[in-house]
Amino acid sequence: MRDLHLWAFERGTLWVRECDGKEVAPVVPGREAVLREAHLSDAEALAHAMGLAGTTEAQQRFDGGRRCFVALVGGAIATYGWVSHGVESIGELERSFRMAPDEAYIWDCATLPPYRGQHLYRALLDYIVTTLCRDGTRRIWIGASLDNTPSIRGFAAAGFQPVLTLTYLRLLGIRRVWMAGDTAASPALVTRARECLAV
């Protein structure tokens, strides 16, 4: 858990991709990569890619039922992304995200610096979406800070649609969150996103 400071401020967007059979143009990464689901045996490599001192956090995530997907270049993790079902904590918003059994949330994604700009993240998102839809997931959520332009470009390219813009403020003991539905999102999706983020 992150240290709590006297204040916190975050602005971000929540995006969604429905498993409705609509095709999105496949991406060809800029270099050869192996896309696959990671497992507990990958905890050490994941910890290294995530910049962690040890494998404890990665192991705890796997033990808690979370899934992880990776793009490997030359056997090394180039990009990764975690997936949760049920309930997941969104640290930046200091709140939980509560999903229906057929929903998933992609989070804590990163591409290591030497591999950026090569479309590996977009390819990994495609792979995650294909796998989750095949496994019975109906709706997939993902989010990012408004200033995280590379991630937002990746979301759009992978067929995700913006649903909600959030502004979160905590000052001393007072917490406020403002949610605004995207004008292009259906009212039903905006309502569902709000339900997932409800206290």
Question: DSSP letter string over 111-128?
Answer: E-GGGTTSSHHHHHHHHH
Residue 176 lies in a domain: no
What type of residue sits at position 197? L
Q: What is residue 17's predicted lDDT score, i.e. its pLDDT?
A: 96
Q: What is residue 1's predicted lDDT score, i.e. its pLDDT?
A: 39
DSSP 59: H
Buried b (16+ CB within 10 A) or exposed e, 7-17: ebebebbbbbb
Residue 180 lies in a domain: no
Residue 112 lies in a domain: yes
Q: Which domain holds residue 136?
A: 23-160
pTM: predicted TM-score of the whole model, two decimal places: 0.92
**How many domains, in total, are found in the chain?**
1
Residue 104 lies in a domain: yes
Among residues 163, 156, 155, 158, which one has the least CA distance to residue 180?
A: 163
Counting as low any pLDDT under 50, the low residues of the chain are 1-3
Looking at the DSSP assignment, which residues form a beta bridge with residue 80?
Answer: 70, 110
DSSP 42: G
Residue 166 lies in a domain: no
Q: What is residue 30's predicted lDDT score, i.e. its pLDDT?
A: 87
We report the CATH number of the domain holding residue 53 as: 3.40.630.30
Residue 55 lies in a domain: yes
Residue 129 lies in a domain: yes
Residue 67 lies in a domain: yes
Q: The tokens of 12 are what?
A: 């971000």
Q: At what angle do helices 56-63 and 43-50 cross, to 10 degrees?
A: 120
